[in-house]
């Protein structure tokens, strides 16, 4: 059940109570085992099955415990049974109903259960799996291959200790089939592992795509246009939480100030919302439509995300020295990350046609392009939390390919209803304590934030030739997807590491020269360790040096600004370089 609450807590004193709960719709019932399976399931902690071998190789003399060789098949059988039994126990289901090629998430194995399962597997196999491993190896087959390859010596040592003396095994060798080999059915010692599906996987070709294997096989193809020039950041502007400009933002960052406070935009007291804190923008209802030649009627029905991004895009161009008629007709692209809108839900039935395009995400970049007559692409990007960074990546691509001569890129996230709080709260993502504890043992989820950020980009050689002020340069960028993980929202350390190393190699970046990493760092028990582990392994491929690179996340200050989170981190880095200070 979820969303459990007690509407009349005072009734407890009377010996009665009313409990209201929402069912998840899953009904677990104990079912009889299919007849083809052994009715008695035996514990993996007692002993292991013996290897099949020719009768001619059997020794008649008595040997001590552990003298029998441990085969790869024995290791695989043991690990597979440990995994299956612990998952079945955690989910309170029969082991025989677990299919080895189905994702753990399909069985309802959530992050809390995953941590407990990994602890038990570590104990029974005498290994040290990270609690995040189920995100990278998300079914039984993948996890078995990973464990048997990464921890083979430890497993051999463990199994040798558990092998019974050979004289106790002689009954297992008495019956042989016509080929001269002991049958698999007779190779199970009392208390050992029953191989219930002996033909499973024999005809399947199974390939594990680990980060190391895939990376070593890939040929890094460096595009000529990427080698030619870096991308200069020549202007920027933004608003995040209570910071109405990037200059105010730096004051808060330099002092280590948290801009999270109790939400007052809506009354959340009567709602079943776990987190009532946020870092929300101020004055989202204020806008000067006449400055942009927009009527008051149209402005009223414009999503605040359109209004405020339009303002900050203009300010970023002002900061770069290019606002006004000088942009008329230029090949300037506009790339904006956004994550949907709920503003239209506040309207009644009778709305003017302006409400149609006033709430379209595609119009967010089109507004500034229309107002300034920009001739480059105008693209809205929705890739969830990475939206603004993907928008910046696409802007860099357009500059490298000479599709544009300049680009505006960034992201925006503004909430006009509490829907995000309700949806994220039901998903268990929000912090009930109201803090983003990034890379911290106190981590219990993230706090929603709002923001808008825009940067102005040019090719470095053009920026130098034009005498532009340069805040910093983008040496390289890259994007990828996690692929199949333990759930659609779960990250992959393998994919993250692969992408990081690809960018380092493609653009000639040595991690030993990196002084600061601005991480995603949402403040979750599983997501943060995955990100930290991927970075560590990526760095270790190039250097063994320690204690030279700071890591942090602006979410500890402004919460999680969703589609604007990435550009917020970029602006933080640029401000840190400008002031020559790594903020606390």
Helix (H) or strand (E) holding 305: helix 304-320
Would you state the structure tokens that stand for residue 101, as one six-digit string?
Answer: 């090629």
542 within 8 A of 504, measured Cβ to Cβ: yes
Question: Quick one: residue 542, left, alpha or beta (phi over 0 = left, psi -120 to 50 = alpha)?
Answer: alpha
Sheet holding 231-240, edge to edge: 378-381, 332-337, 406-413, 451-459, 231-240, 472-474
> Is 385 known to be catalytic?
yes
Burial of 431 (0-12, 13-18, 19+ CB in 10 A): buried
Q: Among 125, 413, 435, 560, which one carries the catalytic annotation?
A: 560
- CB count in 10 Å sphere of residue 195: 18
560 within 8 A of 436, measured Cβ to Cβ: yes
**Closest listed residue to residue 228, CA positions, set 456, 577, 508, 542:** 508
Would you state the structure tokens that stand for residue 109, as one six-digit string?
Answer: 């194995």
Query: CA 491 to CA 520: how far, in whole Å?
Result: 11
Query: CA 14 to CA 11: how far, in whole Å?
Result: 5
State whether the Cα torsion 575-577-579-582 is positive or negative: positive
Range list of H helices, 96-132: 111-125
CA max distance for the chain: 99
> Is 125 known to be catalytic?
no
> Is 541 known to be catalytic?
no
Q: Among 125, 385, 396, 436, which one carries the catalytic annotation?
A: 385
The residue written with tokens 């190779």 in the block is: 187
155 within 8 A of 11, measured Cβ to Cβ: no
Query: CA 383 to CA 366: how far, in whole Å?
Result: 19
Query: CA 105 to CA 141: how far, in whole Å?
Result: 14
Query: CA 181 to CA 57: how far, in whole Å?
Result: 10
DSSP 8-state symbol, 415 = -
Query: CA 567 to CA 316: how far, in whole Å?
Result: 13
Active-site residues: which are they? 385, 520, 560
């Amino acid at each position: 059940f979820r969303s459990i609450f007690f509407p009349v807590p005072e009734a407890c004193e009377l010996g009665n109570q009313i409990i209201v709960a929402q069912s998840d719709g899953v009904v677990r019932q104990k079912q009889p085992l299919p007849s083809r399976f052994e009715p008695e399931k035996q514990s993996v902690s007692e002993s292991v099955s013996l290897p099949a071998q020719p009768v001619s190789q059997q020794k008649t003399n008595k040997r001590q415990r552990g003298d029998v060789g441990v085969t790869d098949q024995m290791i695989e059988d043991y690990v597979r049974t440990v995994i299956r039994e612990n998952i079945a126990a955690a989910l309170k289901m029969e082991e025989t109903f677990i299919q080895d090629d189905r994702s753990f998430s399909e069985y309802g194995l959530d992050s809390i259960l995953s941590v407990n399962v990994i602890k038990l597997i570590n104990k029974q196999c005498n290994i040290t799996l990270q609690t995040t491993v189920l995100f990278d190896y998300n079914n039984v087959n993948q996890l078995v291959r990973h464990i048997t390859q990464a921890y083979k010596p430890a497993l051999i040592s463990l199994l040798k200790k558990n092998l019974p003396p050979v004289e106790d095994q002689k009954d297992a060798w008495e019956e042989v089939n016509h080929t001269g080999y002991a049958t698999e059915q007779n190779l199970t010692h009392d208390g050992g592992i029953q191989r219930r599906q002996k033909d499973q996987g024999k005809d399947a070709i199974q390939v594990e795509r680990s980060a190391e294997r895939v990376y070593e096989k890939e040929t890094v193809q460096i595009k000529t246009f990427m080698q030619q020039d870096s991308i200069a950041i020549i202007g920027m502007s933004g608003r995040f939480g209570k910071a109405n400009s990037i200059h105010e933002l730096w004051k808060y960052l330099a002092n280590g100030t948290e801009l999270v406070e109790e939400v007052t935009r809506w009354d959340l007291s009567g709602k079943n919302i776990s987190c009532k804190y946020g870092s929300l923008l101020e004055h989202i209802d204020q806008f000067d439509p006449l400055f942009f030649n927009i009527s008051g009627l149209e402005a009223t029905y414009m999503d605040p995300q359109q209004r405020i991004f339009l303002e900050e895009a203009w300010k970023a161009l002002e900061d770069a020295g290019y606002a006004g008629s000088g942009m008329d007709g230029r090949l300037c692209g506009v790339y904006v990350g956004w994550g949907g809108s709920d503003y239209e839900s506040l309207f009644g039935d009778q709305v003017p046609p302006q409400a149609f395009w006033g709430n379209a995400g595609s119009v967010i970049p089109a507004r500034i392009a229309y107002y300034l007559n920009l001739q480059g692409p105008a693209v809205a990007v929705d890739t969830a939390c990475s939206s603004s960074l993907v928008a910046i990546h696409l802007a860099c691509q357009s500059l490298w390919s000479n599709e544009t001569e300049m680009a505006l890129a960034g992201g925006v996230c503004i909430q006009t209803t509490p829907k995000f709080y309700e949806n994220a709260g039901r998903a268990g993502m929000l912090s009930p304590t109201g803090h983003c504890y990034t890379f911290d043992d106190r981590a219990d989820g993230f706090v929603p934030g709002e923001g808008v950020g825009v940067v102005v980009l040019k090719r470095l050689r053009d920026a130098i030739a034009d005498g532009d002020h340069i805040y910093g340069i983008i040496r390289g960028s890259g994007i990828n997807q996690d692929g199949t993980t333990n759930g659609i929202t779960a990250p992959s350390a393998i994919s993250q590491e692969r992408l990081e190393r690809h960018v380092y190699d493609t653009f000639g970046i040595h991690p030993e020269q990196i002084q600061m990493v601005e991480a995603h760092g949402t403040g979750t028990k599983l997501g943060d360790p995955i990100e930290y582990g991927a970075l560590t392994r990526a760095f270790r491929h190039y250097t063994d040096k320690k204690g030279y690179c700071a890591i942090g996340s602006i979410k500890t200050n402004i919460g999680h600004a969703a589609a604007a989170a990435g550009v917020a981190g970029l602006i933080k880095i640029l401000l840190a370089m400008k002031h020559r200070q790594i903020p606390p």
